[in-house]
Chains A and B, each alone.
Chain A
């Protein structure tokens, strides 16, 4: 019978760099990267939808603070945000004794917070653009039906805005995956961190970085595929009619 584990070990035999030990590092890296990107995207999306609605408000005192938030997080490098949240936070006196410390002690949560706030800012602006682009006629029709503002938001504006935002949001997901490569600067062993570790241990830049580049390509391909599928389902009414 074909034995998978013997095959795997034979494959890696006589090979200094792709050993079971480094494979374990890459695997750990893949898990960390996936967790980090997935969680930050989900939380970011949940935050972004209400923020985008409030950001579209005509009342300045509601929309301005959100504009300030998106401006700051889109206007500064993610790396700087990560440094501030990871290294900066420890300069608050007494943080080690506070209930927040279990969160900030680990490198994972500061990175997650930075990534989430960053992607939420971008997603908010993507959705706001889509909300703003809602056809006048649809809104007038909704008003003519006597819909309240919130009902109109729920039934008319949000569903169509979501569809319009989909392609741009797909790009944001891919950007987030690639931006997550900076997580290794705060000691997280993500994919890039694993590559840096193997690189520094075996002094070979090509093998580890090409290998993780391939993994990133595969992940990107999966994301593209998923969004292609979603667009086909949700934007079918916009494609040219088949004969």
Chain B
């Protein structure tokens, strides 16, 4: 009974908090799914780094708030935002209509194509229904790549879904997967560059159709935090103007 009472009190408190107007943030907690090289990962010393992290920290500084990064596995990252485990998500999240129904996005801060990657000795030059027939495809669960592959090739190929991109790369090395479909720079850095010559991109980088591949990566906020999103948008515009953005971008995407 006591538990029930405290639970309902908690419910009341939550209801009260959500009916209040958007609050002023001193600290913005940002959810992120680590690792996703080069967007977010840990250095050998254990420090969180990556394009999202550095840009996020610069944005927070510009907005005038303290950023706190909170790690969360991808498949629970939007529910975690809605459940107030953190106030924003900056984790290579593509803006698309399906997600817009749940969260409020900032302006896109980078656009990122998807791509197929396979072992160099897999003899296909392009991914389509014929070449993928009977293969095992790896995707990260709940990503737009998962949705695309499930809808398009779910009937011809086996799809293995992973909680983290790490496990997927591990199973690629183990030869359990024939081909994976992920964000181009992530595949480039975790597969092509880290294993010299073992893996290669298959076909072109993919950005269409928009209903799957959306409009670039955005920072996600709760729908009612319009003020906060607006402040981040302004900060993003400032950083893009004063060169800070380019500087960070060059550090992670040099030589592309």
Contacts and interface: CB of A to CB of B under 8 A. Distances in A.
A185 B75 CA distance: 12
Nearest to A105: B176
Nearest to B161: A187
Q: Size range of the interface on B?
A: 20 to 34
Contacts of A105: 175-176
A203 B167 CA distance: 22
A87 B170 contact: yes
A43 interface: no
Contacts of B212: none
Contacts of B74: 200
B163 interface: yes
Contact of A203 (B78, B146, B161, B173): B78
Interface residues of A, number: 18
Contacts of B162: 187
Contacts of B75: 196, 199-200
B142 A200 contact: yes
A167 B75 CA distance: 39
Interface in A174-197: 185, 187, 189, 193, 196-197
Contacts of A199: 75-76, 79, 142
A8 to B, nearest CB: 20
B82 A203 contact: yes
A96 interface: yes
Contacts of B49: none
Contacts of A96: 174-175
Given A107-B160, A187-B160, A205-B79, A196 B141 contact: yes
A197 B161 contact: yes
B77 to A, nearest CB: 9
B174 A90 contact: yes
Interface string B138-161: 000110001100000000000011
List 10 tightest A-B contacts by C-beta distance, closest first. Answer: A200-B142, A90-B174, A200-B75, A187-B160, A203-B78, A96-B175, A200-B141, A203-B102, A105-B176, A205-B79
A58 interface: no
Interface of B: 74-76, 78-79, 82, 99, 102, 141-142, 146-147, 160-163, 167, 170-171, 173-176
Contacts of A204: 79
Given A199-B75, A201-B147, A90 B173 contact: yes
Interface string A65-93: 00000000000000000000001001000
B162 to A, nearest CB: 6
Contacts of A187: 160-162, 171
Nearest to A187: B160
B133 to A, nearest CB: 18
Most buried by A among B102, B141, B146: B141
Nearest to A196: B75
A98 B27 CA distance: 55
Given A90-B170, A201-B146, 16 more contacts: A87-B170, A90-B171, A90-B173, A90-B175, A96-B174, A105-B175, A187-B161, A187-B171, A193-B161, A196-B75, A200-B74, A200-B76, A203-B79, A203-B102, A205-B76, A205-B79
Interface in A89-123: 90, 96, 105-107
Nearest to B173: A90
A199 B77 CA distance: 11
A2 to B, nearest CB: 30
A87 B170 CA distance: 8
Nearest to B138: A187
Contacts of B82: 203
A201 B170 CA distance: 24
